[in-house]
């Protein structure tokens, strides 16, 4: 469902797929070929949320903001099921694993991977092209070319899945 909040209404590119049961509220911008899957909540009430081109936010994920921290997700980002992104920046080509949490003021660098179930603490900087895991998250290794290929493949897969869902439903959004 797309809901305005106060004087702000989400801006949604015509190619975006928003699954039934997903809620997109307030100051949210969804760029070309982004997809928001079943049960997600994107709540841009006290600040803005931007979801970049060809980025997928998978089932049950939550994106929210702080007064001082918008939630800015770059291009070609793969966000796993039940992730929680709160007032953070995730740069292009990154992957957020299933159930991971990224807290306010944190920044995940381009091409980085946050492992499933990991917690990126407030203000933490995840260097580009590194894998972090744990609670709290810590760097365990550099991301390999194979890892980056895996992310790109899943980003493309989700763009195609979203197109297929749009054709079945005959509409672009919930």
pLDDT at residue 93 tops 70: yes
Q: What is the predicted pLDDT for the residue at 170?
A: 60
User: Domains in the chain, please, with CATH?
Assistant: 2-169 (2.160.10.10)
Q: What is the predicted pLDDT for the residue at 168?
A: 83
Q: Token match 């995840």: residue? A: 126
- Segment 128-138 shows an average pLDDT of 99
Q: Are 109 and 129 in contact (CB under 8 A)?
A: yes
Residue 24 CA to residue 127 CA, distance in Å, equals 29
Tokens of 53: 């081109």
Burial class (CB in 10 A: 0-12, 13-18, 19+), 32: middle
- Segment 117-140 shows an average pLDDT of 99
Peptide bond into 140 cis (omega under 30): no
Using one digit for the tens of pLDDT, what is the confidence trace for 68-92?
Answer: 999 999 999 999 999 999 999 999 9
169 contacts: CB under 8 Å, gap ≥ 6? none
Residue 71 CA to residue 73 CA, distance in Å, equals 7
Q: Token match 């099921």: residue? A: 81
- Segment 12-27 shows an average pLDDT of 97
Q: Are 163 and 172 in contact (CB under 8 A)?
A: no
64 contacts: CB under 8 Å, gap ≥ 6? 41, 42, 43, 49, 71, 85, 86, 87
In percent, the amount of the chain with pLDDT more than 70 equals 97
pLDDT at residue 122 tops 70: yes
């Amino acid at each position: 469902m797309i809901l305005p909040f106060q004087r702000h209404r989400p801006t949604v590119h015509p190619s975006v797929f928003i699954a039934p049961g997903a809620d997109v509220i307030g100051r949210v911008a969804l760029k070309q070929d982004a997809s928001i899957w079943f049960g997600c909540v994107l709540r841009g009430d006290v600040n803005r949320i931007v979801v970049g081109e060809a980025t997928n936010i998978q089932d049950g994920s939550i994106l929210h903001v702080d007064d001082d921290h918008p939630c800015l997700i770059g291009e070609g980002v793969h966000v796993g099921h039940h992730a929680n992104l709160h007032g953070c920046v995730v740069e292009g080509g990154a992957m957020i694993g299933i159930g991971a949490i990224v807290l306010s003021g944190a920044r995940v660098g381009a091409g980085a991977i946050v492992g499933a179930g990991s917690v990126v603490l407030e203000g933490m900087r995840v260097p580009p092209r590194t894998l972090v895991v744990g609670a709290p998250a810590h760097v365990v290794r550099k991301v390999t070319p194979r890892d980056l290929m895996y992310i790109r493949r899943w980003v493309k897969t989700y763009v195609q899945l979203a197109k297929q869902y749009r054709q079945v439903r005959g509409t672009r959004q919930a």
